[in-house]
Amino acid sequence: MKHNIFLNKMLWIVAFYLSFPIVSGQVNQRDLEVTGVVLDETGETMPGVSIYIKNEPGVGVVSNADGRFSIKVSKNSIIVFSFINFVTEEVLITKSQSDLTVQLKESEGTELEEIVVVGHGQQRKVSVVGSISTVDVSELKTPSSSITNALAGRIAGIVSVQRSGEPGNDFSQFWIRGISTFGANQSALILIDGIERSGIDQIDPEDIESFSVLKDASATAVYGVRGANGVVLINTKKGTAGKLSIKFKNYASLSHSPRMPKYLGAYDYALLANEARVVRGQTAIYDDVELNVIRKGVDPDLYPNVDWQKEILKKNTWNRNHYLSISGGGEVARYFLSASTYTSDALYKESGLNDYNTNVRYNKNSFRSNLDVNVTRSTTISLGVDGYLTSQNRPGMGNTSYIWDSQANLTPLTVPVRYSTGQLPTYGKELGGVSPEVLLNHTGYVSDNNTGIQSNIAIRQDFSQWIKGLSARVLYSFDTYTNHVVTRSKMPDLYYSNKRKVDGQLDLELRSDSQPLEVKTSAYSQQKTYLEGSVNYEQLFGERHRIGGLMHYFHQEFSASNRTGTDAIPERNQGLSGRMTYALDDLYLIETNFGFTGSENFKRGEQFGLFPSVALGWIPSGYNWFQQVFPSLSFLKLRYSYGTAGNDKISNYRFPYFTFVEYSSAAWGGKYGITETKLGADNLRWEKAIKNNIGIEATFWDKLSFVYDFFRDRREGIFQERTNLPATVGNISQPWGNVGTMTSKGVDATASYTHVFGAESWATLRGNFTYAQNMVDYWEEPPYKYPYKAKTGHIYNSHTGLIALGLFKDEQEILSSPKQFGEVLPGDIRYKDVNGDGKIDTEDYVYFDYSNIPQITYGIAGEVTHKSWTLSVFFQGAARSKFLYRGNYFPYSGGNIGNILTIANEKSNRWIPAEYSGDPNTENPTAHFPRLSYGSSQNNEQPSTFWLKGNDYLRLKNVELAYRLKSSFIRSLALESIDMSIIGENLWVWDSVKLWDPEQAASNGRSYPIQRRYTLNFIMNF
């Protein structure tokens, strides 16, 4: 394909100057001139090809923008034509030539040569014996502000939960193989381009070259005290030798909330409130006159009917993204440049009365520059610089959770949006009593800006000319991050009225005085430096013995501006790690790893620990007899790994071995004196993870493949506060120690099937599954009278409460049952007396052995391609997690505070006494709600199995229809292709919650909903 002349010429000029170290070599009586052109297999010209004389280092040229070259050589010289990802060609020269044509063939990579990114390097896929999950990065390119939102169900071993859909806060939490410790740090180590960084959500998915998850000891041991919770390796794109490549991407998404809690209107609210009073023997709140006023809406000041969700939320909003990347280069220099911008608005509805924006708006701008230059044939220098700027606009109270609490608390009858006299309302004196409309539009605004710059420079030296297979690399990185927040807050006069004066005017009470505009600023910055050096060796001996080795050293230092005292000391880590691999005939594999790493969290002399691992692999499918006996099984690998990794972030404060002594009020007698305010931990160590992993990889008929891993992770030395020391020891505060233990185990698996229907049609089906269950083996607690109350022996963070036995049928059942909480009536919840003491109290609380983190995460994806059309579908699900209904789910729990869900108004959903309804069938023993009460019911609102519900779900996460346009006309415009697609995200979810999104079930409707999006995507490839 012919390219734009200007771009080609510029590429040739850049390649020429960057290749200067090559073309400026010595001259040895080269009197023969050779000119010609270099083509690829399709006959296209190839600029940037490295052309040099064999055995004469430094003598060479590169082909120009039209693929042409000219070089002077001596007789019988051999000219070498080399280009990345192409087979090197050699041509013997015996005379001058003016029309030499050389055609290079693209390298044909086999499965055996496929490369996988591993800790501190790369390995051939066939040689990997650790548990490593990878994902096709195209699956991460969803129309979202965050990569983390695309992980669930796409990568085996990842457990992920999204709790909010609000722009700027809609990032998912994720864990590798679930939560495996109850210590201070449960998160995976994230490395971007080999450097520990936390800005995973700031990376544009288009910039990602590879995404790997390291799970077992063999994969993570090299990270020592940082690798216990697993490791995520993200490598960004680099330039590749070849023609100039330009990509421009633009998409626009329309988003809305598919699920919102549905609340009663004013009239139904009032009727049900009367029932809640009367069925408890109390008088009704609203008489017939008031009910008629409410129904007809004749007094919107004292008897309003406000749908607060409609007042503060729009139906739809837009998200926009623009992305540009440029890459290319030659054999000497390669480059990759990108820039992107992303904007997302929340659904909040502004009043339009302000000169400023109070809506939540999230903007992200980023850029990236990766440059690789071969300064000699064996030396490469790489420079990477990337940065991002994010800004978030919020209402003046700062935390939008106040808005969601208010819309859940404020009933349609409490106050109007604004009184007819013009005053703004409130129903309380604190921030929690302010209407969501006031919080959104009348409290000012907050501007939150974050800036990050990350840079690294690396030098790689290939020593193969002296020792074949030996190379070394040195990398230095400097990162800086700043945060600047400006808060412009205010509050208007707020009033409340519940009656009228004699003349009919509103009797308004000033509940909250206005607060003038107040401006506050805060700033924070942090810096991190990182240095590493590594030596790699890999060589094949005698076509049978493949040996590899790695030695790696790193040192990093972190400091922040807002720290004082001992915390102001920079954080430092360093370590030495290594790897040895051996493969015999690519059939028998062995790998050993170790990490000898240190942390400043421990005493001098006790800062370093050794974390070894060993892994074995066997590939029986490599035998000839195996293929004859099992012809359908084209590949089979069995592997096992065992080893350790560590976690040095064991507490929320630094230097936990320090004992702090201060002059303060003493513990005895109230006298001032020298006091130990915090007792340091003796014999302090890191958490230690002992990991076992068994893996099976298989491929059938070269179409169906799967990977299955069984794992067990035992965490020892979890740092926790001691509770078994008696007061007679004389401690002012309880000491801490490495005493806790916890075990997690499970399986994760992936499978894929591809079927080709013809030259232009094929289909792929993929799936993955993760099951991770943890168990607290030992949690130091004071001795309990009843052993079942101890955390030991239960799932971490599992729910606790009472065991519900249903609803009381009648007074006789109440009299024959243990004493419950307070006064109970038929239709109230009946609980089990677990300890048998004849009464129900907190001593009867038990563990339910489920948490709100799913134990099972899975995903199913299908893709069908026919010519230029591609249809892809992705389902994602989770199971084995539960949540407790709380707060405003209980009708009238707060009396006149708290909206009532519409499901409570359905007679079949609540227990109604027959004397009130006139129908004995309303005394439903399986009702969702017990007998109503106006105000808190001490008995019915206890956490119990009655309110414990599962939030398993299956979500239609993505559907995409894409078309690729390629034609001679397109190519005449210097375009390779134009891609267009329509994408639907979060289109449907199957679950039992129904009221709100199941991933947000624990918030009980008090959070910004996860959004459904419809996206138009447009990509131009030059």
Could you write out the DSSP letters of every residue in 318-348? EEEEEEEEEEEE-SSEEEEEEEEEEEEE-SB
Q: Are strands 97-103 and 32-39 parallel, antiparallel or unpaired?
A: parallel
52 Cβ contact partners less than 8 Å away, ≥ 6 residues apart: 22, 59, 60, 61, 79, 80, 82
pLDDT tens-digit map of 79-95: 888 876 778 888 988 88
- CA dist list (Å): 674 to 662, 664, 732: 6, 6, 12
Residue type, 493: D
> Looking at per-residue confidence, does 30 or 535 come out higher?
535
pLDDT tens-digit map of 823-833: 999 999 999 99
| Residue where the block lists tokens 């075990």 | 743
Q: Could you tell me the end-to-end alpha-carbon distance of the chain, in angstroms, rounded to an integer?
A: 11
Residue 23, pLDDT above cutoff 80: no
For residues 871 and 638, what is the distance between their CA atoms, to the nearest angstrom?
35
Predicted local confidence at residue 373, as pLDDT: 93
pLDDT tens-digit map of 289-344: 999 999 999 999 999 999 999 999 999 999 999 999 999 888 789 999 999 999 99
Element (H, E) at 13: helix 5-18
Residue 58, pLDDT above cutoff 70: no
For residues 846 and 788, what is the distance between their CA atoms, to the nearest angstrom?
7
167 Cβ contact partners less than 8 Å away, ≥ 6 residues apart: 145, 319, 344, 345, 346, 360, 361, 362, 392
Q: Are 472 and 460 in contact (CB under 8 A)?
A: yes
pLDDT tens-digit map of 920-960: 999 999 999 999 999 999 999 999 999 999 999 999 999 99
For residues 819 and 209, what is the distance between their CA atoms, to the nearest angstrom?
64
3-state secondary structure of 663: strand
Predicted local confidence at residue 87, as pLDDT: 83
Both structure tokens of 843: 């001593």
For residues 71 and 342, what is the distance between their CA atoms, to the nearest angstrom?
48
Residue 14, pLDDT above cutoff 70: no
- Tell me how crowded residue 467 is: count the other CB atoms within 10 A of its CB: 10
What is the share, in percent, of the chain residues with pLDDT greater than 70? 92
Backbone phi and psi for residue 774, each to the nearest 5 degrees, phi listed first: -115, 165
Which residues are 640's β-sheet partners? 616, 694
CA dihedral 934, 940, 943, 944 (to 10 degrees): -150
Both structure tokens of 2: 């012919």
| Residue where the block lists tokens 């991933």 | 999
Eight-class DSSP state of 313: B
Residue type, 375: V
3-state secondary structure of 390: strand
Predicted local confidence at residue 12, as pLDDT: 42
Q: Are 571 and 600 in contact (CB under 8 A)?
A: yes
| Band (430; pLDDT cuts 50, 70, 90) | low
| Residue where the block lists tokens 């980023």 | 366
| Residue where the block lists tokens 């639907």 | 984
Q: Are 864 and 871 in contact (CB under 8 A)?
A: yes
| Band (10; pLDDT cuts 50, 70, 90) | very low
Which residues are 741's β-sheet partners? 716, 778
Average pLDDT over residues 275-286: 95
For residues 105 and 89, what is the distance between their CA atoms, to the nearest angstrom?
9
Both structure tokens of 368: 């990236």
For residues 2 and 360, what is the distance between their CA atoms, to the nearest angstrom?
47
Say which range, 131-140, 402-411, 857-866, has the weakest mean pLDDT.
131-140
Residue of 727, 742, 763, 1004 whose CA lies nearest to 863: 763
Residue 4, pLDDT above cutoff 70: no
What Rg do the C-alpha atoms of the chain give, in angstroms? 34
Both structure tokens of 395: 């209402």
For residues 278 and 930, what is the distance between their CA atoms, to the nearest angstrom?
15
When the pLDDT of each residue in the chain is averaged and rounded to a whole number, the result is 88
> Looking at per-residue confidence, does 530 or 77 come out higher?
530
Q: Where are the alpha helices (DSSP H) in 883-981?
A: 914-917, 968-972
Residue type, 390: T
CA dihedral 596, 602, 606, 610 (to 10 degrees): -20
Predicted local confidence at residue 426, as pLDDT: 92
Predicted local confidence at residue 119, as pLDDT: 75
pLDDT tens-digit map of 514-523: 999 899 999 9
| Band (846; pLDDT cuts 50, 70, 90) | very high
Predicted local confidence at residue 972, as pLDDT: 78
| Band (674; pLDDT cuts 50, 70, 90) | low
720 Cβ contact partners less than 8 Å away, ≥ 6 residues apart: 182, 183, 736, 737, 739, 740, 779, 780
Q: Which own/partner contact pairs does 906-912 have at CB distance under 8 Å and 24+ positions apart?
A: 911/807, 911/827, 912/275, 912/279, 912/827
Both structure tokens of 254: 């329309």
Residue type, 25: G
Q: How far is C-alpha 765 from the chain's CA centre?
A: 24
- CA dist list (Å): 241 to 82, 336, 380, 806: 10, 11, 14, 71
CB hemisphere CA count around 827 (13 angstroms): 25
Element (H, E) at 911: none
| Residue where the block lists tokens 């990032």 | 171
Predicted local confidence at residue 729, as pLDDT: 54
What is the share, in percent, of the chain residues with pLDDT greater than 90? 63
Q: Are 843 and 749 in contact (CB under 8 A)?
A: no
Q: Are 403 and 419 in contact (CB under 8 A)?
A: no
For residues 176 and 959, what is the distance between their CA atoms, to the nearest angstrom?
26
For residues 177 and 180, what is the distance between their CA atoms, to the nearest angstrom?
8
| Residue where the block lists tokens 């089990």 | 832
